[in-house]
Amino acid sequence: MRSDEIKQGYSRAPHRSLLRATGIRNDDFDKPFIGVANSFIEIIPGHFYLNKVAEIIKEEIRAQGCVPFEFNTIGVDDGIAMGHDGMLYSLPSREIIANSIETVMNAHKLDAMIAIPNCDKIVPGMIMGALRVNVPTVFVSGGPMAAGHLEDGTPIDLATVFEGVGQYEAGEITEAQLQEIECNACPSGGSCSGMFTANSMNTLMEAMGIALPGNGTILALTKEREELFRAAARRICEIAKSENPSRFNFRNILNDKAVHNAFAVDMAMGGSSNTVLHMLAIANEAEVDFKIEDINTISKQVSHIAKISPSLTTVHMEDINRAGGVSAVMNEMNKRVNTTLQDNLTVTGESLYERIANATIKDTEIIHTIDNPYSEVGGLAILFGNLAEQGAVIKTAGIVGERRFAGKAVCFNSQDEAIAGITGGRVKAGDVVVLRYEGPKGGPGMQEMLSPTSLIMGMGLGESVALITDGRFSGATRGLSIGHVSPEAAEGGLIALVEDGDEIFIDVDTYTIELRVSEEEIARRRAGFAPIVKPLTSRWLRQYRALVTNASRGAVLEAD
């Protein structure tokens, strides 16, 4: 066992002495030591109850003859951090989480790990850390929140609240109606109930085979979820006590096939555009040769068969669970000729194909068949052109209005400027909002632009206004919203040279985004260009800005 390095032999007497102080007994030194990586934090709705989840998991680990050691990571709630400078810390928190997993697991030579994430950057951060440690690891998330409901029964969620602010600004709803939405949209603990970033990543963990079936869809705070926690704990102990636990080392499961499958399922379910950012970072950590342009190749091979809020506001994760779950989605995907899903080992010991073989769709209104897809191509696309030479991301599943758009640029150099400009009436039908200096370096930290996009939707401009940014979006964003523009403004990307009134052309079906300005004019502008560098008092954010790469590379840190 890897943990023998801290617990076996006479020279490890000091180590054992310290371990005894934590309650370890003589007979525990011959058992596998299991790290229980918990992301419990009281301010995040999907995490405030994870301390109790960890107790359930540790109880089960002890019952299986292993020794659990719980430790915690930090967490940032994107919804609470959004709309102010707290959001600068969201994406950087992913790196702290990955570093903390690596630090604790390797410093103490633990044999295996069970990871308990749920929301936002916490899921990919834990995955990246697990890849560095490369011991047997099972992921089990806290679970999705139930959808909220208005008094008339209308299902709502967090996206409804953000868009409600825009509706209130436009005078379409009253303060009392906004208050009703606010008080009912998030009715319980769990990751926000739509296919936003958290639930997208929790779903993709099933596709990657690193979590058990049901991880993405079984509701939080239910008996069914508790059984999933116990099953995950039993499984990590089975692996740790087996004759060949290294067969399930994390990189043996999260490999090139798993990355491919994650993107394929993301396409079929119309996941958050943030999954592109995080899966590129995960692929980089796994040393998988995957490029952003490969996403369009996968998209062409995948039918979009499940629409979930915000793309379809009446459908939430509990509905997907009732309709057969992610396994049913994957089994239906596998019926398409030349399917893009690849068979691969999963943490349960079965292959992915074996896992999904008997899964069936129980409600074809919720999960469509491949004969009746929402689209013959996937729900995400990467656009290229002079405005995004290294790519830009759009959630095609969330488009309202036309997929081909030409309009005049209205430029803003920060999210705050954009919010003020949109609410102040600067943006009209036919415009393209250009929101820059919010990328990984420029922000820094690549803020989510849910407030501007929700204002556009709430003010009735969703079908007639496009938005492009070097920042990113919440999974709750919908509309013709294009993010992750690379190169970003802070590194001299063309988005920094756009001026008010310039014509921008977008064609989602040909993967095109172009600034229609002559090469001579672009050269003239570039000759006098100097990027805006925002002043920072935070030492951590200054370190992050110095090391981070752009979104086309997953915004990973490069120290070499």
Query: Would you name the residues annotated as active-site residues?
Result: 474
Considering only CA atoms, which of 120, 100, 282 is closest in space to residue 191? 120
- Cα separation, 26 vs 15, in Å, equals 13
Residue with token string 């994390």: 250
* Dihedral in degrees, nearest 10, Cα atoms 112, 114, 117, 118: 140
520: buried, middle or exposed (CB in 10 Å: 19+, 13-18, 0-12)?
exposed
- Cα separation, 162 vs 451, in Å, equals 7
- Cα separation, 112 vs 134, in Å, equals 9
- Cα separation, 263 vs 341, in Å, equals 10
Are residues 397 and 272 in contact, defined by beta-carbon separation less than 8 angstroms? no
- Cα separation, 39 vs 49, in Å, equals 10
Sign of the C-alpha dihedral, residues 208, 214, 216, 217? positive
- Cα separation, 47 vs 344, in Å, equals 30
Residue 177 tokens, joined: 């109606």
33: amino acid identity, one letter: F
- Cα separation, 81 vs 487, in Å, equals 25
- Cα separation, 201 vs 187, in Å, equals 22
- Residues paired with 452 in a beta bridge: none
**Which strands, in side-by-side order, build the sheet including 137-139?**
67-72, 33-38, 112-116, 137-139
Considering only CA atoms, which of 192, 130, 113 is closest in space to residue 448? 192
Considering only CA atoms, which of 374, 131, 136 is closest in space to residue 270? 374
93: buried, middle or exposed (CB in 10 Å: 19+, 13-18, 0-12)?
buried
Considering only CA atoms, which of 501, 257, 487, 510 is closest in space to residue 394? 510
- Cα separation, 1 vs 7, in Å, equals 10
Residue 192 tokens, joined: 């926000």
- Cα separation, 22 vs 37, in Å, equals 17
- Cα separation, 310 vs 95, in Å, equals 28
Name the region of 99 (left: φ>0; alpha: ψ -120 to 50; beta: rest).
Answer: alpha
- Cα separation, 387 vs 402, in Å, equals 20
3-class SS at 540? helix
Give the number of residues written for the chain: 560
